[in-house]
Structure formats: C-alpha cells, structure tokens
Copies of this chain bind each other. A is one copy, B any other.
Amino acid sequence: MKNSDFVAVRCEECPIRHRAVCARCDGDELAILESMKTYKQYAAGETILWRGEPLDYVASLVHGVASLSKTMEDGRTQMVGLLLPSDFIGRPGRTEVEFDVVATTELTLCRFERKPFEKLVVETPHIAQRLMELALDELDAARDWMLLLGRKTAREKIATFIDMLAQRSLASGSANDLKLELPMTRDQIANYLGLTLETVSRQFNALKKEGVISLSGRKEIEVVDLLALRTATGDDSDGGMLS
C-alpha cells in the first residue's frame, strides 16, 4: 500500500492497532481515541517538528518512515532514531522535542491534541503502560545504536543496518522474500550510521561484489546470503541462527 492511497480507517481496522499506543485498549477506550484522532499526511522530506518547537499534538506513525535527528552548529548531523509504523511521537510531560522530526518517506500520522491526550493517559492505565513499553523499547534500540556508533566498523554498520531492515521485513510478515526497499538516501543512511555518504556507497558495493547482497535501482536491495550478512554485522556468533 502506498502512503498516498491511505484513507482514514476505523481503529479496529488500523494496521497498527496491535502495536501502537492503543495496543492494550479495550473497545470503550478505543472509542474515545477514535473520537479524538485526526490523520495528517506529510510528503517525503517535510519536517514534522523542529527541535524546541512546542508540541501541540502527539501522534502515532501509521505508515511511512520518519527520522529523529540532532544537528551541531557547524552542520554535522546525527540521526538519533528512526520511527517506523506504530512508533509514537511525544512524551507525557514533555512539551517540546529535543531533535528535529523529519518525514523520510511520505507518511501518515494519527494525531491527538496533546493536552486532552495527556489527561486521557492519566485516566487510562492501558495507555500509560503501553507508552512506557514503547519508551523502553526505544531506549533499548538507542543503546544498541550506541554500540554501533562507538565501536563498529563501516562494514559492520552497513551490514547491521541492512540486517535490521531485513528483520523488520520478516517480522511484519508481509514480505515473503528478502527483497527490501531502502527507505532513505545514501546521505540519510550515512547520518544514521555516523558515516559519510561515500563510505556508505563503497560498503554497499563491497557487499554486492562479495555476493552478500544485490542492488538494483537506487533503493532496491536483496539479501542474497543472510548468513554472511549476519556474520558481517559483528554481532553474536550465532549469526547463522535465523532469529
């Protein structure tokens, strides 16, 4: 499904119903959320929130990909998170964000006004618990990324990135095969991995030359040898164990 095809759906039929902030909600709770929500679309490249901007809405990402990034005064930037469908933007008690939130692809948000939502959180433990889980998952992901940024080689970083996409593709079940679409440009991948775009390009092509992956077009990638890919990530020696 292309994002532009997306139209508002009832919560029961929502693709992220069972993973988003509403995952634990029962029918009554869902009805309240249903009455509060509005959908909003963003084009690829559009900035959703600027760092320090006051947060009028919180939102779930319905589909598409967004990135969180920090920028230094001299222009160096580092992505500090990647938001995938079901991820949440906005935190209880926080009135602004610490980073820019940018639409990496075309995307759709399911938005709630912040103040009424926060009131709802206090009254609805199912939502508060789910928010906590989502925050802890992000914390785990951030820590894995710290290991990658601090200690992995360029090759390991690229392999880890591709493996992460492959994992998610397998998990979402939709994907039958190991053909993936890169949701970002080389430049954005470089910002995510703490590399330069040239190094990203070279490492992609090195893995291709070795027959680990194949590339066709700019954004199509196929994992040819998952075992070799896992080995190249530098992670656990059970690299061969397909999850």
Contacts and interface: CB of A to CB of B under 8 A. Distances in A.
Contact of A142 (B93, B132, B146): B146
A54 B86 CA distance: 29
A70 B147 contact: yes
Contacts of A236: 73
A65 to B, nearest CB: 18
A54 B133 CA distance: 19
Contact of A151 (B72, B99, B132): B72
Interface string A140-152: 1011111101110
Interface in A67-123: 68, 70, 72-74, 76-78, 80-81, 91-94, 98-99, 122
Interface centre among A81, A132, A140, A150 (most CB of B within 10 A): A150
Nearest to A156: B72
Range of interface residues on A (Cβ < 8 Å): 35 or more
A26 to B, nearest CB: 17
B150 A78 contact: yes
Interface string A226-243: 000000001111000000
A139 interface: yes
A145 B146 contact: yes
B92 A151 contact: no
Contact of A135 (B77, B80, B81, B139): B139
A131 B80 CA distance: 22
B142 A139 contact: yes
Contacts of A163: none
B133 A135 contact: no
18 contacts: A70-B143, A70-B144, A72-B147, A73-B234, A73-B237, A78-B147, A78-B150, A80-B146, A92-B129, A93-B132, A122-B125, A132-B132, A135-B136, A135-B139, A142-B142, A145-B146, A150-B194, A151-B194
Q: List 4 A-B pairs, minimum CB-CB distance, nearest first.
A: A150-B194, A149-B149, A142-B142, A80-B143
Interface of A: 68, 70, 72-74, 76-78, 80-81, 91-94, 98-99, 122, 125, 128-129, 131-133, 135-136, 138-140, 142-147, 149-151, 193-194, 234-237
Given A73-B237, A98-B140, 10 more contacts: A70-B147, A73-B234, A73-B236, A74-B234, A76-B151, A78-B146, A78-B147, A122-B125, A131-B132, A142-B143
